Structure 1
């Protein structure tokens, strides 16, 4: 069954600045369907002056507007209404994203349905952002309060445009911040529609602003002196550039970057489940996922059987029209990434890895930007296809002899985003969960996320955490309030009097 593909003429969209839809003053950026190749929308290329205007609008909304002054319960009410509106329009938001990035609708629809739950969860958190009272003795009282960090710049990617926006937007709004959003130029239309729904739900003008454009607009926003915090998801190289841009103003930032995550399959694992987990972990979304399990480490005693069954299962994956509910894997999201994935596969061949499945474009699914699910064996750990993120449907399979060797191989990259462990030994599962250098370790499952669970990486996979109650801490500043309750100041030249240790 194929969902209805919008066939109306090309849409020319505008940016949102201070509650007004603003036309560009320069070039247009084409938004193309990676399955059909059609240009179905255009968005403006924001000028530096328009980025300035968006940041200024967010600053005014922060200082003068009603949003930060609302009670936590009132902000929670807006977020709950936003959740209801997003749930109502989930089908349209799904379709827009599939047209932008080519992700299979069966996955994109589930992601989109989860947005409402995410917003509703942080509506509850908005009412529970608390400081603490610190005991200072009879003469003094100290307590802390959590305040909005300020103007937040959210730079979002193309692979999951709305999910990865909401991971930033929901805790930021819950804490009373205002935002300027810069979506990827590949997938901007769904974000523009999403903020329309925010206004309908009662988010005041200026609280959410959207500027569209390519890397130049993002660089201006990341380096803007009036941005207080940056929330970025994207490649490691781009994240490093964001960190450098933030250095001059010392803006706080969180970076959710790339990965080279490993699935560790032990001989005692249920191989059927492990194979399904590995296939979904790397080939779902055509491998365009930061947590893609692009390395598979298999215990030697089951290596041959596992590889044979993995290759057979990969051959049964259904590629096709992303709008078809029977499709399991859609297209690569844009021509640039398509060419990059094919170049990485060719590099793997040149390095001497054995190609076990796939290996290039496939015409079986249509004329879109399809790359066949690809498996390499006989890889060496220093090969580029083992060490560098490909962000496509390409996996490397390695064997190991001992648990120690498996951990060493898994930790042998500069990334630290995720890992999977497949075993029926509960003690081993807990041992490895502690030893693997990753922000998330899945055991006997893979690529699962929730608004309840913190998510983020280590090393070149980034800094900071999104999701869960911890995420709000990223969007607040802690202020200490100290009250002197005594009759006098004591010794004005010794503010530390009374704090000496008795030891």
Structure 2
């Protein structure tokens, strides 16, 4: 894998706890493995329970006794803007870290990393006008003040596929609310979290407000069970989300969960396939399909199915798969060996289940090294098939036919998930009426848009709570009602 030599990715050696870079308490180490070479490229320390305890204690002290929760919102906003400016100065480094760890094409990561600074600026602006205090009147004429206060010490647990932005959604909103934070990034992708910690340190936030303790499953479980954690914000798989919810239920700790998806793109009978193609190409398999909101089920009218396949398949076959460091690459490898094994298992299940393999299904020619899988499309898929029901998290798309709009709505909703979706039609109002029938937390008409200034999250087993927008700030606030007699 070639990489910009001007962007060094150094191996982390310490944790960021209570405003200092502290030495690990144990010799435990983790490896970052290149998805292109399949070789370890960076070794770094893993936080043990003792390190996590220290981080939580620092966050608790900062919340109970420090200035951060007690600042005026405008003062917190000034710190957040400093963080945003520092992140902006390091966008190229953040893009290369993402590409190196995950295998996402550099052309894509460069486009997406500005969202990290956008989130900090957005929440800085929001809290300067947000109604943290709402003065009301009771029916008897008495005064009521409704306050929105920070929930407390929060754990922010982020996944490996989009490491920094999915952490930043939590950190920017939590800090804006006045919470103190303990961040645990995925063990496969810690580098961006270290960049964020450095930016927060340079911005001068008070000690203990932000703490970073990268670790694996054991450390994550210790963190969510910690009695001093008031809230857990998690993005990841539905099964892990259920585990977190069960653990937090014992002490009624607050939880927000952004989980899996099996999102449908519904092309209504009047849809223009050529117009739909660009967004379908980007969002049916983004980051090699390793995105929760991927449009992995494409619902097309049975009467136009062949026409759709004639449009879609040549574009999929034409995707340039290769080195993610090459700006011309459109699809890189999967992030890790276990992910490739999982995806190949689903491809085998699709064949065994009776779906028609329309293209792909193997490993790309000439790419014998690296966790590569061809972009794959199955047709003649029915909602009961495994590949239509379960989140694959790889470059595998199912084309599902329908008879009429009622049939399309039934099939679009035939899933335990409900994260995202799209509706395509020449008639926007027709698409809007259909979108209202879909049981999913986000939808786009004639495309796919995820905007950090607006809420994102899911129905059903795709999670609870929302990230982004004012709703993302609400995640980190408690409501207090004060009656004045």
- The aligned residue for residue 470 of structure 2 is 469
**Does the C-alpha gap of structure 1 residues 248 and 9 become closer, same or farther in structure 2, counting only changes over 3 Å?**
closer
- The aligned residue for residue 494 of structure 1 is none
1:311 and 1:433 map into 2 onto residues whose CA distance is 26
Is 1:17 aligned to residue 17 of structure 2? yes
Q: Which is higher, the Rg of structure 1 or of structure 2?
A: 1
Which of 191, 194, 197 is equivalent to 2:196?
A: 194
Q: Report deviation, 1:180.
A: 0.4
Matches within 5 A, 1:82-481: 82-130=83-131, 131-137=133-139, 140-365=142-367, 367-446=369-448, 448-481=449-482
User: Could you give the per-residue CA deviations for residues 135-186 of structure 1, whole angstroms, max 9, x where no partner exists?
Assistant: 1256621111111100010000011111111111111111110000110011
Q: Report deviation, 1:279.
A: 2.0
2:224 and 2:232 map into 1 onto residues whose CA distance is 7
User: Could you give the per-residue CA deviations for residues 99-153 of structure 1, whole angstroms, max 9, x where no partner exists?
Assistant: 1111111111122112112111100112123232221256621111111100010
Bigger mean CA offset, 234-243 vs 30-39: 30-39
How high is the TM-score relative to the length of structure 2?
A: 0.96
1:248 and 1:113 map into 2 onto residues whose CA distance is 38
Native 8 Å contact 2:237 2:259 kept in 1: yes
User: Could you give the per-residue CA deviations for residues 446-476 of structure 1, whole angstroms, max 9, x where no partner exists?
Assistant: 2x21122100001010000000112111111
Native 8 Å contact 1:294 1:396 kept in 2: yes
Q: Report deviation, 1:266.
A: 2.1
- The aligned residue for residue 71 of structure 1 is 72
Q: Report deviation, 1:8.
A: 6.6
**Does the C-alpha gap of structure 1 residues 9 and 427 become closer, same or farther in structure 2, counting only changes over 3 Å?**
closer
1:52 and 1:326 map into 2 onto residues whose CA distance is 45
1:73 and 1:8 map into 2 onto residues whose CA distance is 36
Native 8 Å contact 1:5 1:95 kept in 2: no
SS in 2 for 1:181: strand
2:330 and 2:458 map into 1 onto residues whose CA distance is 27
**Does the C-alpha gap of structure 1 residues 480 and 255 become closer, same or farther in structure 2, counting only changes over 3 Å?**
same
2:380 and 2:175 map into 1 onto residues whose CA distance is 49
1:469 and 1:204 map into 2 onto residues whose CA distance is 24
SS in 1 for 2:287: helix
2:303 and 2:205 map into 1 onto residues whose CA distance is 58
Q: Report deviation, 1:364.
A: 3.4
Q: Report deviation, 1:21.
A: 2.0
Structure 2, unaligned runs of 5 or more: none
How high is the TM-score relative to the length of structure 1?
A: 0.93
Superposed structure 1 runs of 4+ greater than 3 Å apart: 5-10, 363-366
1:390 and 1:46 map into 2 onto residues whose CA distance is 30
2:140 and 2:391 map into 1 onto residues whose CA distance is 58
SS in 2 for 1:310: helix
1:366 and 1:326 map into 2 onto residues whose CA distance is 20
Q: Report deviation, 1:426.
A: 2.4
